[in-house]
């Protein structure tokens, strides 16, 4: 975005663009009121805004569908007890990640339980169940509250592009419900998010960080940030999985003392 130039770890300098904030007569007078009066209220109230307009909600879901993908060791060592779910996609919207998991592992038994959780307004607005693998069960659930009974004891709890919307304090509330539902020594927490490197972050990573900050006071986090946040929530990081060409990583975590 040409706003800053990286000169070292946590060290930056202004560019000619940022040293010249712009001519109010050219665009500032129209841009500033738009940002304050329209863009900011929209982002702060985004869930309510999407729930009130099905067409806009569908467009937003399309955006989220365009970004995703990951699994195998978790499945290989899973106890396929049908009384417990294998995989819980927390805030999973259309369930694309859950369906991808099953697509990558077609040998999983038909009784395998995979849950997709999201707000009631999202679940009720999704396409018919026939468009998903029949093993995917949709659950209306607010992830800021404790896990429902159906979601307890899963092999994996998955959060994809969820926590960058939320502050550390709110993320701890989200983690609390998952933490209480996990089975010690068995359940894993998987977080698919940007992990900012100390230096050399890609333009997509940094742009996303600025977008999340301006849109909903969110942020992309460094590895140090993630380890601190997860430690405060009662988790240990097992491994951070990276894939060439992907701007997101998968953070594998377990209950503290069981990594």
Any domain includes 55: no
- Domain for residue 59, yes or no? no
Residue 26 has pLDDT above 50, yes or no: no
14 and 136 together in one domain: no
Whether residues 139 and 241 fall in one domain: yes
Question: Which residues does 255 contact at the CB level (< 8 Å), separation at least 6?
Answer: 179, 182, 184, 185, 187, 234, 235, 236
pTM here is: 0.76
Kindly tell me if the per-residue pLDDT of 257 is higher than 70: yes
Is there a domain that residue 53 lies in?
no
39-48, 116-125, 192-201: range with lowest mean pLDDT: 39-48
Phi, psi of 231 (to 5 degrees): -60, -40
The CATH number of whichever domain residue 185 belongs to comes to: 3.40.50.150
Co-location of 80 and 18 in the same domain: no
So what's the pLDDT on residue 28?
A: 52
| Domain annotation covers residue 116 | yes
Q: 157 or 38: whose pLDDT is higher?
A: 157
Provide the mean pLDDT of the chain. 84
Question: What per-residue confidence (pLDDT) applies to 84?
Answer: 87
The verdict on residue 49 lying in a domain is no
Q: Are both 37 and 81 inside the same structural domain? A: no
Assess whether pLDDT exceeds 70 at residue 20: no
Q: What sign results for the dihedral spanned by CA atoms 118, 84, 153, 159?
A: negative
Same domain as 88, residue 139: yes
Q: Clarify whether residues 81 and 18 are in a common domain.
A: no
Q: Is residue 54 part of a domain?
A: no
Q: How far apart are the C-alpha atoms of 103 and 110, rounded to whole Å?
A: 13
Number of domains in the chain: 2
Q: Which of 141, 160, 164, 179 is catalytic?
A: 164
Residue 76 CA to residue 90 CA, distance in Å, equals 22
Higher per-residue confidence, 241 vs 203: 241
Return the ∠ at Cα 136 (arms to 54 and 230), rounded to 5°.
85
Model pLDDT for residues 197-235, shown as the tens digit of each residue? 999 898 889 888 988 888 888 899 999 999 999 999 999
Which pLDDT band holds residue 70 (cuts at 50, 70, 90)? very low
Residues 128, 181, single domain; the answer is: yes
Tell which residue, 74, 9, 5, has the closest CA to residue 250.
74
Do 181 and 70 share a structural domain?
A: yes
Domain that holds residue 29: 4-44
Specify whether the CB–CB gap between 179 and 255 falls below 8 A. Answer: yes
Residues 32 and 80 in one domain: no
Is the domain of 210 the same as that of 86? yes
Is residue 174 domain-resident?
A: yes
pLDDT band at 4 (very low <50, low <70, confident <90, very high): confident
Is 107 part of any domain? yes
Same domain for 238 and 161, yes or no, is yes
Same domain, 20 and 98: no
Concerning whether 105 is annotated as a catalytic residue, the answer is no
Q: What is the 3-state secondary structure (H, E, C) of the chain?
A: CCCEEEEECCEEEECHHHHCCCCHHHHHHHHHHHHHHHHHHHHHCHHHHHHHCHHHHHHHHHHHHCCCCCCCHHHHCCCCCCCCCCEEEECCCCCHHHHHHHHHCCCCCCCCCEEEEECHHHHCCCCCHHHCCCCEEEEECCCCCCCCHHHCCCCEEEEECCHHHCCHHHHHHHHHHHHHHCCCCCCEEEEEECEECCCCCCHHHHHHHHHHHHHHCCCCEEHHHHHHHHHHCCEEEEEEECCCCCCCEEEEEEECCCC
């Amino acid at each position: 975005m040409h706003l800053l130039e990286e000169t070292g770890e946590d060290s930056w300098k202004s560019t000619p663009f940022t040293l010249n904030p712009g001519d109010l007569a050219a665009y500032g007078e129209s841009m500033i009121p738009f940002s304050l009066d329209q863009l900011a209220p929209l982002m702060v109230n985004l869930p309510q805004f999407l729930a009130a307009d099905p067409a806009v909600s569908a467009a937003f879901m399309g955006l989220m569908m365009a970004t995703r993908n990951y699994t195998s060791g978790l499945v290989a060592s899973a106890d396929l007890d049908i009384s417990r779910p294998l995989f819980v996609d927390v805030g999973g919207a259309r369930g694309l990640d859950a369906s991808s998991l099953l697509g990558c592992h077609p040998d999983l038994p038909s009784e395998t339980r995979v849950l997709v959780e999201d707000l009631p307004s999202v679940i009720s607005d999704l396409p018919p169940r026939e468009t998903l693998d029949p093993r995917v069960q949709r659950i209306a659930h607010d992830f800021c509250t404790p896990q429902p009974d159906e979601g307890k004891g899963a092999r994996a709890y998955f959060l994809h592009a969820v926590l960058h919307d939320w502050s550390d304090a709110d993320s701890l509330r989200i983690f609390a419900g998952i933490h209480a539902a996990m089975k010690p020594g068995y359940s894993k927490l998987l977080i698919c998010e940007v992990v900012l490197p100390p230096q050399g972050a890609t333009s997509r990573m940094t742009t996303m960080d600025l977008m999340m900050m301006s849109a909903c006071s969110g942020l992309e986090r460094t590895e140090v940030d993630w380890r601190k946040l997860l430690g405060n929530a009662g988790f240990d990081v097992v491994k951070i999985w990276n894939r060439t060409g992907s701007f997101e990583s998968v953070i594998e975590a377990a209950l503290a003392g069981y990594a």
